[in-house]
């Protein structure tokens, strides 16, 4: 390692990798430091259960990776990254044996929704049509939009609560499909702007699909790391940074850390008022996560659900709204909303021949130590009788264990801060440029900055662009 670099990036999650790449692309010498033994952050994969079974530790399905203006611009296929697309992007089974399916063609999804066909198409069509015009605004900081009319069309549909938007639909299937999408917001469905995430996920499902990377989410991190090194970047793992004073001499420091870690690492250089404001930053619900090694695919009662990469389990819109509201209020729910991924359906490399893997989580109060294994498995069994008999091994993370694994997941919050209306564009604090800190030359690039959580790298890209502007 040299004694001096133009820029040092701390944390090699998707945003730290994106920031390091963007800085290196501008001809700067960049050192990327990572506390664990591999790069990746939320994109890591490991044999958590049994040898030969590859499990994604956090992120599993990646519609935003393909939609990201920055990640999609990189030649990652040349560095080994390959995506596969489940036949059904997402499915939502119900107790009567029916299911709503997110398919690539919007007409195919809508056709199965009966009297809600036109309501569904009316909801998603403008966002699909306008995506190329609004993606930069949605995946970036608050600023004057290039296409205000298109963004306004999106905003009119995105601003209401998911419960309000759900009133567009009459059938249980359409209402449940919508609730499952909106619940990715990790907040009560009655909150304003919870329609935004549901709208984006549906539109991206039709535009790009919901792909999984061959070999595990670690493949995305490995491809980004390989590309970064190929253009001259330097990576050093097993280097946990507790203070800026531990870094080599540099003019630019970019931190892929949560606000709590920002204060710990850079507190000596931050303005006192900023430290107070960062201390008030609000974190959202945590997650309880479970991975399974299975003897065979999950036997969902509805045949099409067996072909889905992602499955939302929680019953009706009303059930999901009730469970999410209780979890956000600090309660453990006995019938939680469950997000489940069955990556091995599309990517057989995840398990030995003939065997399978599955991944699921539910929302729990921030910092919870509660074990929700039984509750999650009961929800799977509810729609796939016989599921429990297929389990060879399981691995679990409580919300508290998620934070112990990755300090950026404060209290098990995988979005690095609640993304409600109060923190959507003002995260982590109100500032003209959210990526600058009050410490000269120190920038924040984690998902605590706009546009927030997800594997898209845009927080890192925008932080790097800010640093480049200041540097030059």
Cβ neighbours of residue 149 closer than 8 Å, sequence gap 6 or more: none
Position 142 scores a pLDDT of 85
What distance in Å separates the CA atoms of residue 460 and residue 449, rounded to the nearest whole number?
Answer: 9
What count of other Cβ atoms lies within 10 Å of the Cβ of residue 159? Answer: 15
The two structure tokens encoding residue 272: 């006192």
Q: List, as one string, the DSSP characters of 67-107.
A: H-TTGGGS-GGGGT--EE--SEEEEEE-TTS-EEEE-SSHH
Q: Rounded to an integer, what distance in angstroms lies between the CA atom of residue 78 and that of residue 325?
A: 44
Positions in the chain whose pLDDT score sits under 70: 1
Measured between alpha carbons, how far is 396 from 406 in angstroms, rounded to an integer? Answer: 15
Q: How far apart are CA 9 and CA 131, in angstroms?
A: 31
Q: Please choose, from the candidates 13, 31, 18, the residue with its C-alpha nearest in 3D space to the C-alpha of residue 460.
A: 18
Q: Cite the residue boundaries of each domain of the chain with CATH code 3.50.50.60.
A: 4-82+213-281+417-471
Cβ–Cβ < 8 Å for 327, 397:
no
Measured distance between the N- and C-terminal CA atoms of the chain, rounded to whole angstroms: 25
Q: Which residue has the tokens 């000596």?
A: 268
Rounded to whole angstroms, the Cα distance separating 216 from 357 reads: 11
CB atoms under 10 Å from CB of 407, counted, come to 15
What angle separates helix 14-25 from helix 218-230, to the nearest 10 degrees? 20
Report which secondary-structure segment, H or E, holds 252.
strand 249-255
Can you give the pLDDT at residue 144?
87
Helix (H) or strand (E) holding 9: strand 4-10
Query: Which residues lie across from 454 on neighbouring strands?
Result: none
* Distance from C-alpha of 199 to C-alpha of 203, rounded to nearest angstrom: 6
Angstrom distance (rounded) from CA 220 to CA 81:
6
Which residues of the chain form CATH 3.90.660?
85-211+285-405
What integer pLDDT is reported at residue 1 of this predicted model?
58
DSSP per position, 96-142: TS-EEEE-SSHHHHHHTTGGGHHHHHHHHHHHHHHHHHHHHHHTS-S
- From the options 3.30.70, 1.10.10, 3.90.660, 2.60.40, give the CATH code of 85-211+285-405: 3.90.660
Residues 352-367 as b/e (b if ≥16 CB within 10 A, e otherwise) read eeebbbbbbbbbbbbb
Give the tens place of pLDDT for each residue, 81-117: 999 999 999 999 999 999 999 999 999 999 999 999 9
Looking at CATH, the fold of the domain delimited by 4-82+213-281+417-471 is given as: FAD/NAD(P)-binding domain (3.50.50)
Using CA atoms, how far apart are residues 439 and 255, in angstroms rounded to an integer? 12
């Amino acid at each position: 390692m040299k004694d001096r670099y133009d820029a040092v990036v701390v944390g090699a999650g998707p945003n730290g990798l994106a920031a390091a790449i963007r800085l290196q692309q501008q001809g700067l010498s960049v050192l990327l430091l990572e506390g664990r033994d591999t790069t990746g952050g939320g994109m890591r994969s490991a044999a958590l259960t049994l040898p030969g079974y590859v499990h994604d530790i956090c992120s599993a399905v990646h519609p935003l990776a393909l939609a990201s203006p920055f990640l999609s611009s990189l030649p990652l296929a040349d560095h080994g990254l390959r995506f596969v697309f489940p036949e059904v992007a997402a499915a939502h089974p119900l107790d009567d044996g029916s299911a709503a399916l997110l398919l690539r063609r919007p007409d195919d999804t809508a056709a199965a929704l009966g009297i809600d066909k036109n309501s569904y198409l009316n909801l998603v069509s403008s966002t699909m049509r306008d995506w190329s015009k609004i993606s930069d605004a949605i995946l970036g900081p608050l600023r004057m939009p290039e296409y205000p009319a298109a963004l306004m069309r999106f905003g009119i549909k995105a601003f209401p609560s998911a419960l309000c938007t759900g009133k567009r639909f009459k059938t249980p299937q359409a209402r449940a499909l919508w609730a499952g999408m909106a619940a990715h917001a990790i907040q009560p469905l009655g909150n304003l702007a919870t329609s935004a995430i549901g709208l984006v996920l549906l539109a991206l499902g039709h535009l790009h699909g919901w792909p999984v990377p061959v070999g595990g989410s670690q493949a995305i991190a490995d491809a980004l790391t390989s590309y970064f090194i190929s253009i001259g970047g330097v990576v050093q793992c097993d280097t946990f940074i507790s203070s800026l004073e531990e870094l080599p001499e540099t003019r630019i420091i970019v931190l892929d850390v949560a606000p709590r870690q920002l204060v710990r690492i850079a507190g000596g250089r931050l303005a006192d008022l900023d430290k107070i404001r960062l201390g008030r930053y609000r974190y959202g619900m945590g997650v309880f996560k479970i991975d399974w090694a299975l003897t065979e695919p999950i036997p969902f009662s509805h045949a099409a659900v067996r072909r889905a990469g992602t499955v939302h389990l929680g019953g009706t819109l009303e059930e999901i709204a009730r469970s999410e509201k209780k979890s956000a209020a600090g309660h453990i729910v006995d019938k939680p909303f469950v997000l489940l991924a069955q990556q091995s359906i599309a990517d057989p490399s995840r398990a030995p021949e003939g065997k399978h893997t599955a991944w699921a989580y539910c929302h729990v109060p921030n910092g919870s130590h509660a074990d929700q294994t039984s509750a999650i498995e009961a929800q799977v069994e509810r729609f796939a009788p016989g599921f429990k008999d297929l389990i060879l091994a399981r691995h679990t993370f409580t919300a508290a264990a998620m934070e112990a694994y990755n300090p950026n997941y404060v209290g098990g919050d995988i979005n690095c801060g609640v993304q409600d209306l109060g923190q959507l564009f003002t995260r982590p604090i109100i500032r003209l440029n959210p990526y600058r800190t009050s410490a000269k030359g120190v920038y924040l690039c984690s998902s605590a900055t706009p546009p927030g959580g997800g594997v898209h790298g845009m927080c890192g890209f925008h932080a790097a662009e800010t640093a480049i502007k200041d540097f030059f």
